[in-house]
Amino acid sequence: MNALTEPLEYAFMQRALIEIVLVGSLCGLVGCFVVLRGLAFIGDALAHAVFPGVVLSYMAEKSILIGAFVFGAFTALGVGILARSRRVSEDSAIGVIFAAFFAVGVVLISREAGFKKDLGSLLFGNVLGVSQSDVMWTGIIAAVVAGLVLLFLKEFTLVAFDATMARAAGYPVFALDLLLLLLVAATIVASLQTVGNIPILALLVTPPATARLLTDRLGRMMLYSMATAIGSGIVGLYISYHANTAAGATIVLVATAAFVVAFVVAPDHGLLAGWLQGRRGKHHVHHYHPVDEEVG
């Protein structure tokens, strides 16, 4: 029991646990629509594109959330606008913007020698270093994003499963896509301090992908996704504390382990279930006789 209670004696661990619960809830919720819409590449692009905002905020000695959100919003709007062109595919728009913005961040870093010692925390996060102010801002972002997701849940669901039908029914699909991209950007910004710039995509995609293996219902998928993200965050945080490993990377590995387990043993969609169904099918074919059909 001491291994569980000892970390809670420290204020930085208490803040880290609150932060990871907030971020896990946020990533688990928004990530469902990222997975259902096949937007993992966009999530990756946004995670990289906010990097210059992080660097500029660091240079100005301001919260990294400010610069990151500005560049995340620019990226979301840019991708949405460019993708409307018939001559520019969505993938091309994403590639152009995120490569350019990430290159800007690298150029800025190359001009500041002082960044070298802090580059690891910028790229891989520092959940153990979050302040009360960071937790407060994460909570505000999480509340706003979750509120908007629930407010537009019906519209997001329809667009996720059948964008053509949504467009035919008169729904503003382009505006909804832009709003979803902005919510993904806000989620990434809120998670930067926790898992960092590089592993953030895993926390946004892996828990929802795990939940997708466990259920076919969106409501349950959202709950399972949030539970997986929060659980992975808490377990990863404890492991990193006792094993003295990087917290963000450890959290990602725990989430990945949960996905692998679900991929193998999920009741309806796991490898084991598929293998058992195949065995039952072969058994049925083996005992099938054409004469049975004639008699019936």
Closest to 27 (Cα-Cα) out of 155, 148, 190? 190
pLDDT tens sequence across 200-247: 878 899 999 999 999 989 999 999 999 999 999 999 999 998 998 888
**Which one-letter DSSP state was computed for residue 276?**
H
Instruction: Name, in order, each residue with C-beta under 8 angstroms of 295's C-beta and a sequence gap of 6 or more.
Output: none
**Domain residue ranges of the chain, discontinuous segments joined by +:** 2-197
Angle in degrees, CA 137, 141, 146, rounded to 5: 150
Residue 268 has pLDDT above 90, yes or no: no
At which residue do the structure tokens 């490898």 appear? 271
**Any idea which architecture 2-197 has in CATH?**
Orthogonal Bundle (1.10)
Tokens found for residue 168: 């035919």
pLDDT tens sequence across 143-169: 999 999 999 999 999 988 888 888 898
Q: Report yes or no: 228 and 242 within 8 Å, Cβ to Cβ.
A: no
Tell how many helices (H) and how many strands (E) occur in the chain. Answer: 16, 0
Closest to 191 (Cα-Cα) out of 31, 84, 13, 12? 31
Mean pLDDT of 95-124: 72
Q: What is the pLDDT of residue 292?
A: 45
Instruction: Name, in order, each residue with C-beta under 8 angstroms of 104's C-beta and a sequence gap of 6 or more.
Output: 51, 52
pLDDT tens sequence across 164-183: 888 898 989 888 988 998 89
Tokens found for residue 99: 């490569």
Closest to 124 (Cα-Cα) out of 52, 49, 187, 195? 195
At which residue do the structure tokens 């806000």 appear? 186
Residue 38 has pLDDT above 90, yes or no: no
Compute the distance between CA of residue 138 and CA of residue 140 in angstroms, rounded to an integer. 5
Average pLDDT taken over every residue of the chain? 82
Q: What is the pLDDT of residue 296?
A: 41
Higher pLDDT, 49 or 224: 224
Confidence category of residue 49, pLDDT binned at 50, 70, 90:
confident
pLDDT tens sequence across 76-109: 888 777 766 666 666 777 778 878 888 888 888 7
Confidence category of residue 269, pLDDT binned at 50, 70, 90:
confident
